[in-house]
Structure 1
Amino acid sequence: MDSKLFPAESFIGRNFRKRVLRYKVPSRIHRAVCGGDVEKVNHILAYGEAGVDERDKKNRTPLHYASTFGHSELVSLLIKKKCNLELLDNYFSTALNKAVEHQHEECVEILLNNGANPNVQDINGYSSLHYAVFCQTTAIVEKLLSHNANMELQNKDGHTPLLLALKHNKQEVAELLIQNNANIHAVDNDKRTALMLATKYEAKHIIELLLHGGIDTSAKDQFGKNALSYAIASCFNV
């Protein structure tokens, strides 16, 4: 089974090609979409051999597949055929979530320009902006923000996109979010602040931005540690 299609497996660095070869695509239209065969997909739809929103066993539509594999021409075709952009798979992921997760910028742009909602959260609470942050694709982050992506949505661990960026040392993206007025005072489920997370990777410039923005340096997490405690633990002279 191709775990690359699933958010629960999306951040595990396994070989994508091997997974694709192992995956058994369920139906003719899904196979045609995976192969990027525009002519065949158009034929299948024109002759009513399958519906434009046909689901597989995990409720993934042809649009989910086209977005996952980066077939932008097929994304456009499926939209032209009036597919539903907001259908969720079993993991509550939309096609836009998948396009962002796999960094297919052209597919992302097509979906957004046709009204795809960037604020749908999957089973783990990840929105499209969370995925863009994790993958550190600033161009996609900017596209999402220009289409009203919510910077304050929290995943199941309480991470906003900014907190997620700092947790995984995505400093360029973190700076972009701060410049776009992301809430620097948000805390995760462990009550960790952006300042605490920034000290782990000695993100000096980010720390300066946070301090300039008035972040509370005395705030404590659920373990009673403040930002200075994190800095000391990291041997970081801030």
Structure 2
Amino acid sequence: MASFVAALKSQDLEGIRRFTANGGDVNGLISPQSALEIAVSSKNVQIVHHLLNAKAAVDFQNVKGESPLHIAIQQQTGREMIELLLEGGASPTIKDYYNQSPLHLALQLGQQDIIGLLQKITTHVNALCKAAESGSLETVKKLLEERPTSVNSYSEEQVTPLLEATSQGHLEVVKFLHQHNANIECMTLDSEITPLSVASSRGHLEVAQFLIEHKANVDTINSYSQSALLCASAQEQFPLVKILVENKCDINYQNQGKISALDYAIINQDYQMTKYLLEHNANPNLPCNIPTLMHCFHHSSINSELVKLLVTHNANLNVLKSKMEELKETNRELYAWLKNWK
């Protein structure tokens, strides 16, 4: 990697070619920049072209949220560089952390020679995403035939065509996009939600199955610290919970609030999901802010069957000490069962 960095900084194209010919990863982070950003900043069109051919992530954002296209416009690298990035699938509307897109920057800087080009591609990507969202396969085919590299571009809503198709469960569109090199691990730019998490939360079982069959990561965490399993369990999507568990997701993952899939199942009073998770080694005693067993008491009526289910799967009874006197008055049957269990 050190030789690659040195070659980049010295603009040594042959050194870069040797690195990629030997299987080097051009997307390894060269803190705080990507290789493509360094090449764009150096205004070296040949190196940028080579990196794009080597599958450099064209929309990779640096610590300021800037993409290589942002950098190219800021540094006025010229139309040839801009066109090269756009041909590689760069998104004109991807926003940095100051809510500025490359198109906004071009307008501010008065770069008239590229504004029209950026606007044209923006219109195309927006139309492609809308077609994917509506499930119009023929329109998607037509638009991708016009500009194949739009397949992974972001619309003004900061989503890709695959994310839009997944959100509505359009399996045939999802399949077509995948066949045409859609990135199965693409994320929403505002919250880092993957297609699999979208499918999991919305109950699109066939789409989720397809994504998993094509190597989607079942444990990717979004910016809300939710995994696909947490998304599915929170939205009571039991079939999605099953397929994720069957594909060896982390069943005991907890978000930043120390909530697990088992917690969500109990909060939703979903007996079957709770039973399934426990039978597949969900831990009812994970370190947490609210003990899992106590979630059974967060409703107007206590779900006795859930309490019994958890206790028979080794939930820590000590957390119920503060509830026993209350149960003695409000639920004598459960109180007696717990006393006998002890």
Q: Under a length normalisation based on structure 1, what TM-score does the superposition of the two structures give?
A: 0.78
Root-mean-square deviation (Å) = 2.3
Which segments of structure 1 move beyond 6 Å, counting only runs of 4 or more? none
Aligned 8 A contact 1:187 1:194 in 2: no
- 2:252 aligned with 1:158: no
Q: 1:156 to 1:58 in 2, by over 3 A?
A: farther
Which amino acid letter does the alignment assign opposite residue 198 of structure 1? C
Unaligned runs of 5+ in 1: 1-24, 220-225
Give aligned pairs, total.
Answer: 206
3-state SS of the aligned residue for 2:151?
coil
- 2:305 aligned with 1:218: no
Mapping of residues 185-204 of structure 1, within 5 Å: 185-188=285-288, 190=289, 192-201=290-299, 202-204=302-304
Partners of 2:279 and 2:177 in 1: how far apart? 36
Partners of 2:244 and 2:183 in 1: how far apart? 19
Q: CA deviation at 1:203?
A: 2.6
Of Structure 1 and Structure 2, which has the larger fraction of its residues in helix? 2
Mapping of residues 92-171 of structure 1, within 5 Å: 92-171=192-271
Q: CA deviation at 1:59?
A: 3.1
Which amino acid letter does the alignment assign opposite residue 177 of structure 2? L
Q: Under a length normalisation based on structure 2, what TM-score does the superposition of the two structures give?
A: 0.56
Aligned 8 A contact 1:218 1:227 in 2: yes
Question: Higher Cα Rg: structure 1 or 2?
Answer: 2
Unaligned runs of 5+ in 2: 1-123, 335-342
- 2:176 aligned with 1:81: no
Percent identical across equivalent pairs? 20
Which residue is 1:229 aligned to? 323
Which residue is 1:11 aligned to? none
Q: 1:113 to 1:212 in 2, by over 3 A?
A: same
Partners of 2:133 and 2:157 in 1: how far apart? 16
Partners of 1:58 and 1:91 in 2: how far apart? 12
Partners of 2:270 and 2:307 in 1: how far apart? 13
Q: 1:31 to 1:231 in 2, by over 3 A?
A: farther
Partners of 2:223 and 2:325 in 1: how far apart? 33
Mapping of residues 174-193 of structure 1, within 5 Å: 174-188=274-288, 190=289, 192-193=290-291
Q: Which has the higher contact order (CA 8 A, sep 6+)?
A: 1
Partners of 1:37 and 1:171 in 2: how far apart? 39
